[in-house]
Amino acid sequence: MKLRVLADRCTGHGRCYDLAPELFDEDEDGHCRLLVPVVSGDLEAKARVAAQNCPEEAIVVSD
Amino acid sequence: MTDPESPEPAQEAGSADAVNLFSGEFARCPQPVYRDLVSRCPVAHSVLGDGKVISRYEDVIWALRNPQIFSSEMELQLALGTERPMIPQQVDPPAQTRYRKVLDPRFSKKRMREIEPDIRRHANALIDAFADTGQCDFARDFAVPLPCTAFLSLMGLPHEELPRFLRMKDGIIRPQELVEEEVPDFAAMQALRVQTGKDIYAYFRDVIEDRRRAPGDDMISYLLETEVDGARLTDEDILDVSFLLILAGLDTVTATLECNIAYLAGHPAQRERLVADPALIPSAVEELMRWETPVTAVPRLVKEKVTLHGVDIEAGEMVSLLIGAANLDDEEFGNADAVEFDRARNRHLAFGGGAHRCLGSHLARLELQVAMEVWHERVPSYAIAPGAVPVFSPGIREIRSLPLVWANA
Ligand code: HEM
Ligand code: SF4
């Protein structure tokens, strides 16, 4: 599974790094920094949760 | 509506086509009105004549993400006792983006973690004062002072300033309660607002002078020093930010704490779940933010004509983006009318969205999580005092008095 973060959409709600700190971190402004662009196994579920809780729909998940 | 979560519809709130967002009944129980608006009347009128009311999730998030159409630059400032637009809330991108570049790093989650021990200590100290008595006024004794102490920690201001801060924010937000007349006297209220506004400016002007002479690692020193695109904030900018922080950072958290505890007092099974499994608290805080949406709506000024669901909204009209209604839209949230602490998908808009996403959301979430944790450790079982009827204020759903009772172990 591939992950992408649309930087121009992210406004720093921080739901992604709250819910999936293995995959996302915050940059200095509190915006999302993607740590792991390709995920597999248990982390796929976490990636989906992060995407489903981002109010800006800034996280794109593709297979 | 048969769901047990939604009590009888709020009558006073008006029919869906003309809705009164400022009635006490709507503030007490807005959910049935929200559900009705979302399903039947996605663009309603405000009975107060202050513009149209937009309710569906899809429309609200679209408006929030398009500030070039839905502007935040409005002439509200006089009414609130400010002398200039508040920064960054009453400024549109791209100027707003530059201010947020300065402010965001200071409000990041990492930064907020530094004041977590303070917040925890203050929460415990507040509870120490009444834990053994088996009763308190949750509003007066906990929900009002806690965000104020967190705010003083955030700003690096001395905690002895607490009473002064409470008075300054009430002078702006609810002058009617400080004007000591039986009948509300609007001229006196407005005069108090303007005077309080002057006091706030004067207070922060002194702090700025002080920090310029002796900089520290506090918020005001940071704002004085930080450059964006080669420019620094002026003293006026810093005053306009500080003013907003008082208005946006205190009552909002107070209201959320009150809404949460009132909900849990009325739903013992949900409360017991939280007590049994505190790991649920972060997602419960999100779900209660969605369900209660303590800040019910955000205003915008329409810059170019748009047509939504067949309704024309002309350039120059005001609209209310009803984030509370968007948060109960089944199209976005399956089973939106149920309170589910383990909801998997929750893109709620209780902190707004787009460019103006609440600057204080990381602080607010921390305060709420710590408060809910500490409260339920110390007072796991509680009820609203017999005979007490919580009264919610409109706009920001505060409960001015919330008497609780519990049996001591
Ligand atoms: C649970 C508590 C809170 C709620 C529900 C809340 C809600 C909101 C909402 C809905 C907005 C968007 C307004 C708009 O789009 O016009 C907002 C903006 C803002 N909030 Fe909060 N807020 C909370 C706590 C805080 C705290 C603790 C602070 C600061 C210490 C704060 C500071 C701000 C600021 C500065 C803005 C303006 C941001 C901008 O326009 O760029 N808020 N808040
Ligand atoms: S949840 Fe979305 S908006 Fe928030 S930081 Fe993550 S990617 Fe950005």
What pLDDT sits at residue B139? Answer: 96
Residue whose entry in the numeric block shows the structure tokens 């920094």:
A33
What pLDDT sits at residue A7? Answer: 95
Tell me the residues of chain A between 15 and 34 that have a Cβ less than 8 Å away from chain B: 17-18, 26, 28-31
In chain B, the number of structural domains is 1
Ligand 2 in reach of A51 Cβ (< 6 A): no
ipTM of the complex: 0.94
E strand intervals along B5-93 = 18-19, 43-46, 52-54, 70-71
Choose among B19, B26, B70: nearest CA to B40. B19
Q: What is the pLDDT of residues A23-61, one digit of tens each?
A: 999 999 999 999 999 999 999 999 999 999 999 999 999
CATH value at residue B356: 1.10.630.10
Domain contains B135: yes
Domain contains B3: no
CA distance B42 to B250: 31
> Nearest Cβ partner of B345 from A18, A53, A56?
A53
Domain contains B72: yes
Domain contains B1: no
What pLDDT sits at residue B184? Answer: 64
**DSSP one-letter code for B295:** B
Asked if B79 is an interface residue toward chain A (Cβ–Cβ < 8 A), one would say no
Q: Which residues of chain B have pLDDT under 70?
A: 1-16, 76-81, 178-184, 409
Domain contains B5: no
Q: Which residue is closest to B57 within chain A, CA to CA? A: A55
Q: Are B295 and B256 in contact (CB under 8 A)?
A: no
Domain contains B310: yes
For the structural domain made of A2-62, what CATH number should be given? 3.30.70.20
Percentages of chain B per state (helix, strand, coil), in multiples of 5:
50, 10, 40
Domain contains B38: yes
CA dihedral B70, B76, B82, B87 (to 10 degrees): 0
Q: What is the pLDDT of residues B60-114, one digit of tens each?
A: 999 999 999 999 998 765 556 677 888 999 999 999 999 999 999 999 999 999 9
What is the value of pTM for the model shown? 0.94
**Omega within 30 of 0 (cis) for the link into B94:** yes
Choose among B256, B227, B302, B244: nearest CA to B66. B302
Ligand 1 in reach of B89 Cβ (< 6 A): yes
Q: Domain containing B19: what range?
A: 12-405
How much distance in Å is there from the Cα of B278 to the middle of ligand 1?
26
Q: Are B288 and B259 in contact (CB under 8 A)?
A: yes
